[in-house]
Amino acid sequence: MLNVGDHPPPSSFAALVFGFGGDVQTKTTVMHGRLRLARKSDDHGHSGQEFPGFDARFFEAYSIKDPQSLMMNTARAFENLGRAASEWLGPRERGETSDDLFAGPIGDFIKTMSALTEYWMSDQKRMLEAQTLLLSTYFEIWTRSIQQAGGADKNSAAAEMAENRDRRFADEDWYRNPFFSFLRQVYQATASWAERLVTEADGLDEITKYKARFYVRQFTAALSPSNFAVTNPEVYRATVESHGMNLVTGMRMLTEDVMAGGGHLRLRQTDATQFSVGNNLAITPGKVIARNALCEIIQYAPSTETVFKRPLVIVPPWINKFYILDLTPDKSFIKWCVDQGHTVFVISWVNPDRDHAAKDWEAYIREGIDFALDTAEKATGEKQVNAIGYCVGGTLLSAALAWHAQKKDTRIASATLLTAQVDFAEAGELKVFVDEEQLALIEAQMKASGYLAASQMAAAFNLLRSSELIWPYVVNNYLKGKEPMPFDLLYWNSDSTRVAAANHAYYLRNCYLDNALSAGQMKLGGSAIDLRDITIPVYNLATREDHIAPARSVYRGNALFGGPVEFVLSGSGHIAGVVNPPNRTKYRYWSGGAAAETLNDWLKDASETAGSWWPHWQAWVDAQEQERVPARNPGSGTLSPLEDAPGTYVLARA
């Protein structure tokens, strides 16, 4: 038997890793290769303080009780990891996939970070000050950790935990255990210091600075101690408790996800077995009443005896599937519109392949929006509609409206834009991926395949919120070995689509790279279009926490239209701020602000309302036209239904 001394120094590794302030006096012993905890009392039977910062209650969860089983399962986990590596390498060796498209972002990352490093290293005084700041912060953290290991300042950990808003560090051992607390504080200090390096790099141009800020956040998010088995207390405990079976299961799931992605990681974010499009998602009754090579047009069955005279035509984004607006019945914007008395038509875009490579922006207007307008007129006999465009669908709708104005086409009487940008000067972090060099690489890859792969598009969007959409699932799936919970929104998010080459190249160049639409330089039908020619009423919705179409960017678009604009700002983000049914009484929205130069100035005069923006929009539509007619059933016009909603195109998996 080996007895640990009665009074080890407070900075000992054991005290640092397992020490907690507490009243229980303990002694650690090692017998037969296993750790045992023993209580020590004084002559009067009272517990003394042998290890001031050590509490035995928290030790057992971290002690390895069956090293042989753990070693065997660790070997099995590495075996599964090897299979995942083989699944990743195989398609590349066979020429079935490559990482050429990622060469642009990787090269841009190296170039950007090199510029940042050069700025700081070019001045020795500046570099020394930065290093001194970081090292002094580390010293302060070390001092606090030693004090915590010695049992001092017990309340500070509880206070820190109460103030925490970072989900990665929700577990109490990030604060109570001096070892994990030390890791957390060092990480947070380093991440904050790295962001300061960018913020205070006054010698960098704004574009390089913007990119550096994005890349630093990605880098620090990846290096969080919560992402590694031995530095995450939850994963560490799970590994000890299951003798490593969590890692065996996790590496098996990793292999399956690489196989599902054809050599790329298709990160599972939800239990996909719980959802099926047409069965428990996208189930609002309706019919596909028209179809061409680019889209299907769905008309939904009425639920009211009378309906608005003008039909409602919805243009969803083609970079995702339309049923984000028709999830479950209680979340469906489409069903809600039907219940308000709208005759709803929706474009369901095809999931493009090589055959659609030449379908460009103009084709998506002619064969998408114009095809939907023709279909609505044939189905209802009406010459005018109200139109909604969501995300890039709203950008396309805006371009179509400007083009229609040139041609005196008045079929769209009012337009609603949902988180749609028409001015891309402040288009958010997606601009990081778009410069001349990276765009040339994307175009070359798309020319070879005919499209941008769904996995590549999904990866770009996930990176924008990697701390929410990537790393939590890496930890949960591959380190904890747990299946993610079923969540309809994340199922939709994983149901990605490919993007036609010509269309995507046109969009990136004319919007993100050149901002041609806002400047009146985008060309359609051989001539430039101007958003100021759009004089119909526009309802322009932004969401406050949008990372794809930032609210300030959407707001800039107000000034570009030639007619009246009703701007509304919703709470939450790009999806939840839009898909926000009134019966959930979530979030809030702002409206009625006076026209101002900036969004912040507009907010000073805006009215805040609790709940969903949907009723506010309905009141705005009511004000445009209130005439009602008998309800129209799909197929009651000149078009015969082809099949039930949600149709065929939406079922194609990428």
Q: Which amino acid is at 318?
A: W
User: Cis link prior to 646 (omega < 30° from 0)?
Assistant: yes
- Other CB atoms closer than 10 Å to residue 321's CB: what's the count? 26
Cβ atoms 489, 184 nearer than 8 A:
no
Render pLDDT for 594-640 as a digit per residue (tens, 0 to 9). Answer: 999 999 999 999 999 999 999 999 999 999 888 999 999 998 878 99
pLDDT band at 128 (very low <50, low <70, confident <90, very high): very high
Band of residue 7 on the pLDDT scale cut at 50, 70, 90? very low
Determine the Cα–Cα distance for residues 481 and 247; give it in Å rounded to an integer. Answer: 6
Asked whether the predicted pLDDT for residue 265 surpasses 80, the reply is yes
The torsion angles phi and psi of 603, rounded to 5 degrees, stand at -65, -30
Identity of the amino acid at 136: S
* Length of the chain (residues): 654
**What per-residue string of b and e applies to 225-259 under the rule 16 or more CB within 10 Å gives b?**
bbbebebbbbbbbbbbebbbbbbbbbbbbbbbbbb
- Please indicate whether residue 337 is annotated as part of the active site: no
> What is the percent of the chain with per-residue pLDDT over 90, rounded to a whole number?
71
Task: Answer whether residue 1 shows pLDDT above 60.
Answer: no
**pTM attached to this predicted model:** 0.87
Q: Note whether 378 and 322 are within 8 A (CB).
A: no
Cα separation, 212 vs 369, whole angstroms: 39
- Positive or negative torsion for Cα 392, 396, 401, 405: positive
- Mean pLDDT over each residue of the chain, to the nearest integer: 88
The one catalytic residue in 295, 337, 391, 511 is 391
CA-angle at 311, arms to 309 and 312, nearest 5°: 140
Give yes or no for residue 10 having a pLDDT over 70: no
pLDDT by residue (tens digit) across 180-230? 999 999 999 999 999 999 999 988 888 889 899 999 999 999 999 999 999
